[in-house]
Amino acid sequence: MKKILSLVLIALMVAGVAYAATPGYRLSPGIGENMTTAQGGQQSDPGKTFRMVRFMPATATANSTTLTAESIVIWDLSSDDGVTITTTETSYDSAVAGIIVHACLTPETIGNTAAVDRGKRNWTWLQTHGLAQVRVQNLGSVVVGEAMATSNNEGEAGSFVASASAAGLNGNAGFFFDSAAADTDDVECFVTCE
Q: CATH number of the domain at 98, please.
A: 2.40.300
Residue 30, domain member (yes or no): no
Residue span of the structural domain in which 65 resides: 46-194
Residue 16, domain member (yes or no): no
* Percent of all residues in the chain with a pLDDT value above 90, rounded to a whole number: 65
Question: pTM for the complete prediction?
Answer: 0.82
* Measured distance CA(99)–CA(11) in Å, rounded: 54
When pLDDT is averaged across residues 163-191 and rounded to a whole number, the result is 96
Residue 7, domain member (yes or no): no
Q: Which residues pair with 100 in a beta bridge?
A: 126
Residue 88, domain member (yes or no): yes
Whether pLDDT at 31 is above 60: yes
Residue 21, domain member (yes or no): no
Contact 108, 63 (CB under 8 A): yes
User: Measured between alpha carbons, how far apart are the two ends of the chain, in Å?
Assistant: 60
Comparing CA positions, the residue from 184, 191, 128 lying closest to residue 160 is 191
* Measured distance CA(10)–CA(130) in Å, rounded: 46
Residue 8, domain member (yes or no): no
Number of structural domains (the chain) is 1
pLDDT tens for each residue of 125-175: 999 999 999 999 998 999 999 999 999 999 999 999 999 999 999 999 999
Residue 25, domain member (yes or no): no
* Antiparallel, parallel or unpaired: β 187-192 and 174-176: antiparallel
- Comparison of pLDDT for 59 and 106, the residue scoring more: 106
Residue 51, domain member (yes or no): yes
